[in-house]
Chain A
Amino acid sequence: MIGGLFIYNHKGEVLISRVYRDDIGRNAVDAFRVNVIHARQQVRSPVTNIARTSFFHVKRSNIWLAAVTKQNVNAAMVFEFLYKMCDVMTAYFGKISEENIKNNFVLIYELLDEILDFGYPQNSETGALKTFITQTGIKSQSKEEQSQITSQVTGQIGWRREGIKYRRNELFLDVLESVNLLMSPQGQVLSAHVSGRVVMKSYLSGMPECKFGMNDKIVIDKQGKGGATEEAAGKSDLGGSGGGGGKQSIAIDDCTFHQCVRLSKFDAERSISFIPPDGECELMRYRTTKDIILPFRVIPLVREVGRTKLEVKVVIKSNFKPSLLAQKIEVRIPTPLNTSGVQVICMKGKAKYKASENAIVWKIKRMAGMKESQISAEIELLPTNDKKKWARPPISMNFEVPFAPSGLKVRYLKVFEPKLNYSDHDVIKWVRYIGRSGIYETRC
Chain B
Amino acid sequence: MPAVSKGDGMRGLAVFISDIRNCKSKEAEIKRINKELANIRSKFKGDKALDGYSKKKYVCKLLFIFLLGHDIDFGHMEAVNLLSSNKYTEKQIGYLFISVLVNSNSELIRLINNAIKNDLSSRNPTFMCLALHCIANVGSREMAEAFAGEIPRILVAGDTMDSVKQSAALCLLRLYKASPDLVLMGEWTSRVVHLLNDQHMGVVTAAISLITCLSSKNPDEFKTCVSLAVSRLSRIVSSASTDLQDYTYYFVPAPWLSCKLLRLLQCYPPPEDGAVKGRLVECLETILNKAQEPPKSKKVQHSNAKNAILFEAISLIIHYDSEPNLLVRACNQLGQFLQHRETNLRYLALESMCTLASSEFSHEAVKTHIETVINALKTERDVSVRQRAADLLYAMCDRSNAKQIVAEMLSYLETADYSIREEMVLKVAILAEKYAVDYSWYVDTILNLIRIAGDYVSEEVWYRVIQIVINRDDVQGYAAKTVFEALQAPACHENMVKVGGYILGEFGNLIAGDPRSSPLVQFNLLHSKFHLCSVPTRALLLSAYIKFINLFPETKATIQEVLRSDSQIRNSDVELQQRAVEYLKLSSIASTDVLATVLEEMPPFPERESSILAKLKKKKGPGAVSVELEDGKERGELNGGGDRGGDAAIAASNASTPSPSADLLGLRSAAPVSGAAPSAGSLLVDVFSEAGPAAASAGVNDDGFLSALHAPEASDSPLVEGPGDSDSAPTSAASEDPAPPLPESDELLNKFVCKNNGVLFENQLLQIGIKSEYRQNLGRMYLFYGNKTSVQFVSFSTTVSCPGELQSQLNVQTKTVEPLVEGGAQVQQVINIECLTDFVDAPLLNIKFRYGGALQNISLKLPVTINKFFQPTEMAAADFFQRWKQLSQPQQEAQKIFKASHGMDTEVLKAKLLGLGTALLENVDPNPENYVCAGVIQTKAQQVGCLLRLEPNAQAQPGEQMYRLTLRSSKDTVSQRVCDLLAEQF
**Residue A421 is within 8 A (CB to CB) of chain B in the complex:** no
**In the complex, which of the residues B32, B38, B42 has the most CB atoms of chain A within 10 Å of its own CB atom?**
B38
For residue B103, which residues in chain A have a CB less than 8 angstroms away from its CB? 385
Interface residues, chain B, with chain A CB atoms under 8 Å away: 24-26, 31-32, 34-35, 37-39, 41-42, 44-45, 69, 73-74, 76, 103, 105, 108
Question: Is A338 touching B25 in the complex (CB atoms < 8 A)?
Answer: no
Question: Is B73 touching A384 in the complex (CB atoms < 8 A)?
Answer: yes
For residue B41, which residues in chain A have a CB less than 8 angstroms away from its CB? 338-340, 382
For residue A355, which residues in chain B have a CB less than 8 angstroms away from its CB? 34-35, 37-39
What 0/1 readout, one digit per residue, does chain A (208-250) give for beta carbons within 8 Å of chain B?
0000000000000000000000000000000000000000000
**Residue A380 is within 8 A (CB to CB) of chain B in the complex:** yes
Q: Which residue of A lies closest to B69 (CB)?
A: A40
Question: Is A382 touching B76 in the complex (CB atoms < 8 A)?
Answer: no
For residue A42, which residues in chain B have a CB less than 8 angstroms away from its CB? 26
**Residue A356 is within 8 A (CB to CB) of chain B in the complex:** yes
Question: Is A358 touching B34 in the complex (CB atoms < 8 A)?
Answer: yes
CA distance A40 to B26 in the complex (A): 10
Q: List residues of A (19-50) whose CB comes within 8 Å of B's CBs.
A: 40, 42
User: What 8 pairs between A and B have smallest CB-CB spacing?
Assistant: A355-B38, A340-B45, A356-B31, A340-B41, A356-B35, A386-B73, A384-B73, A355-B35
Question: Is A385 touching B73 in the complex (CB atoms < 8 A)?
Answer: yes
Question: Is A62 touching B105 in the complex (CB atoms < 8 A)?
Answer: no
**Residue A254 is within 8 A (CB to CB) of chain B in the complex:** no
For residue A337, which residues in chain B have a CB less than 8 angstroms away from its CB? 37, 73
Nearest-CB distance from A360 to chain B (Å)? 12
CA distance A356 to B33 in the complex (A): 7
Q: Which residue of B lies closest to A383 (CB)?
A: B74
Q: Which residue of A lies closest to B32 (CB)?
A: A356
Q: With A10-B24, A42-B26, A355-B35 in contact, is A341–B42 under 8 Å at CB?
A: yes
For residue B76, which residues in chain A have a CB less than 8 angstroms away from its CB? 385
For residue B105, which residues in chain A have a CB less than 8 angstroms away from its CB? 385
Q: With A340-B44, A385-B74 in contact, is A357–B69 under 8 Å at CB?
A: no
CA distance A341 to B39 in the complex (A): 9
For residue A339, which residues in chain B have a CB less than 8 angstroms away from its CB? 38, 41
Nearest-CB distance from B71 to chain A (Å)? 8
Q: Which of A10, A62, A380 contacts B45 (CB 8 A)?
A: A380
Nearest-CB distance from A39 to chain B (Å)? 9
Show 16 A/B contacts (Cβ-Cβ < 8 Å), sorted by A: A11-B24, A62-B25, A340-B42, A355-B35, A356-B35, A356-B38, A357-B31, A357-B34, A358-B38, A380-B45, A382-B44, A382-B74, A383-B74, A385-B73, A385-B76, A385-B103
CA distance A10 to B29 in the complex (A): 13
For residue B45, which residues in chain A have a CB less than 8 angstroms away from its CB? 340-341, 380, 382
Question: Is A356 touching B73 in the complex (CB atoms < 8 A)?
Answer: no
Q: Which residue of A lies closest to B108 (CB)?
A: A385
CA distance A382 to B24 in the complex (A): 30
Q: Which residue of A lies closest to B27 (CB)?
A: A42
Q: Which residue of B lies closest to A384 (CB)?
A: B73
For residue A386, which residues in chain B have a CB less than 8 angstroms away from its CB? 73
Report how many A-B pairs have Cβ atoms within 8 Å: 50
CA distance A384 to B105 in the complex (A): 12
Q: How many residues of A contact B (CB 8 A)?
A: 20
CA distance A40 to B29 in the complex (A): 13
Nearest-CB distance from B101 to chain A (Å)? 10
Q: Which residue of B lies closest to A386 (CB)?
A: B73
CA distance A338 to B38 in the complex (A): 8
CA distance A10 to B74 in the complex (A): 32
For residue A383, which residues in chain B have a CB less than 8 angstroms away from its CB? 74
Q: Which residue of B lies closest to A335 (CB)?
A: B38
CA distance A356 to B25 in the complex (A): 14
Question: Is A340 touching B69 in the complex (CB atoms < 8 A)?
Answer: no
CA distance A380 to B39 in the complex (A): 13
CA distance A114 to B351 in the complex (A): 64
Question: Is A384 touching B74 in the complex (CB atoms < 8 A)?
Answer: yes
Nearest-CB distance from B97 to chain A (Å)? 13
For residue B35, which residues in chain A have a CB less than 8 angstroms away from its CB? 355-356
Q: Which of B34, B42, B44, B69 contacts A356 (CB 8 A)?
A: B34
CA distance A40 to B69 in the complex (A): 9
CA distance A22 to B31 in the complex (A): 41
Nearest-CB distance from A12 to chain B (Å)? 11
**In the complex, which of the residues A42, A337, A385 has the most CB atoms of chain B within 10 Å of its own CB atom?**
A385
Q: Which of B31, B69, B74 contacts A338 (CB 8 A)?
A: B74
Nearest-CB distance from A286 to chain B (Å)? 32
CA distance A42 to B74 in the complex (A): 25
Question: Is A338 touching B42 in the complex (CB atoms < 8 A)?
Answer: no
CA distance A436 to B25 in the complex (A): 28
CA distance A355 to B30 in the complex (A): 11
For residue B38, which residues in chain A have a CB less than 8 angstroms away from its CB? 339-340, 355-356, 358
**In the complex, which of the residues B41, B69, B108 has the most CB atoms of chain A within 10 Å of its own CB atom?**
B41
Nearest-CB distance from B569 to chain A (Å)? 41
Nearest-CB distance from B70 to chain A (Å)? 11
Q: Which residue of B lies closest to A39 (CB)?
A: B26
Q: Which residue of A lies closest to B103 (CB)?
A: A385
Nearest-CB distance from B66 to chain A (Å)? 13
Nearest-CB distance from B393 to chain A (Å)? 40
What 0/1 readout, one digit per residue, does chain A (282-326) give for beta carbons within 8 Å of chain B?
000000000000000000000000000000000000000000000
CA distance A357 to B34 in the complex (A): 7
Nearest-CB distance from B541 to chain A (Å)? 38
For residue A384, which residues in chain B have a CB less than 8 angstroms away from its CB? 73-74
Nearest-CB distance from B530 to chain A (Å)? 36
What 0/1 readout, one digit per residue, does chain A (386-423) give for beta carbons within 8 Å of chain B?
10000000000000000000000000000000000000
A339-B41, A340-B38, A385-B108 known, 10 other contacts, Cβ within 8 Å:
A337-B37, A337-B73, A338-B41, A338-B73, A340-B42, A355-B35, A356-B31, A383-B74, A385-B76, A386-B73
Nearest-CB distance from A344 to chain B (Å)? 14
Nearest-CB distance from B39 to chain A (Å)? 7
For residue A340, which residues in chain B have a CB less than 8 angstroms away from its CB? 38, 41-42, 44-45
Nearest-CB distance from A373 to chain B (Å)? 26
What 0/1 readout, one digit per residue, does chain A (337-355) give for beta carbons within 8 Å of chain B?
1111100000000000001
For residue A358, which residues in chain B have a CB less than 8 angstroms away from its CB? 34, 38
Nearest-CB distance from B558 to chain A (Å)? 49
CA distance A382 to B41 in the complex (A): 7
CA distance A434 to B108 in the complex (A): 58
For residue B34, which residues in chain A have a CB less than 8 angstroms away from its CB? 355-358
CA distance A40 to B35 in the complex (A): 21
For residue A341, which residues in chain B have a CB less than 8 angstroms away from its CB? 42, 45
Q: Which residue of B lies closest to A385 (CB)?
A: B73
CA distance A341 to B74 in the complex (A): 15
CA distance A356 to B31 in the complex (A): 4
Q: Which of A10, A382, A385 contacts B25 (CB 8 A)?
A: A10
Q: Which residue of B lies closest to A308 (CB)?
A: B45
CA distance A382 to B44 in the complex (A): 8
For residue B37, which residues in chain A have a CB less than 8 angstroms away from its CB? 337, 355
CA distance A339 to B31 in the complex (A): 15
For residue B44, which residues in chain A have a CB less than 8 angstroms away from its CB? 340, 382
Q: Which residue of B lies closest to A355 (CB)?
A: B38
**In the complex, which of the residues A42, A340, A358 has the most CB atoms of chain B within 10 Å of its own CB atom?**
A340
CA distance A341 to B40 in the complex (A): 11
CA distance A384 to B103 in the complex (A): 14
For residue A62, which residues in chain B have a CB less than 8 angstroms away from its CB? 24-25
**In the complex, which of the residues B25, B73, B76, B105 has the most CB atoms of chain A within 10 Å of its own CB atom?**
B73
CA distance A382 to B42 in the complex (A): 8
CA distance A357 to B76 in the complex (A): 24
CA distance A358 to B35 in the complex (A): 8
CA distance A384 to B73 in the complex (A): 6
For residue A385, which residues in chain B have a CB less than 8 angstroms away from its CB? 73-74, 76, 103, 105, 108
For residue A338, which residues in chain B have a CB less than 8 angstroms away from its CB? 41, 73-74
CA distance A436 to B35 in the complex (A): 29
Nearest-CB distance from B397 to chain A (Å)? 44
For residue B42, which residues in chain A have a CB less than 8 angstroms away from its CB? 340-341
Q: Which residue of B lies closest to A341 (CB)?
A: B42
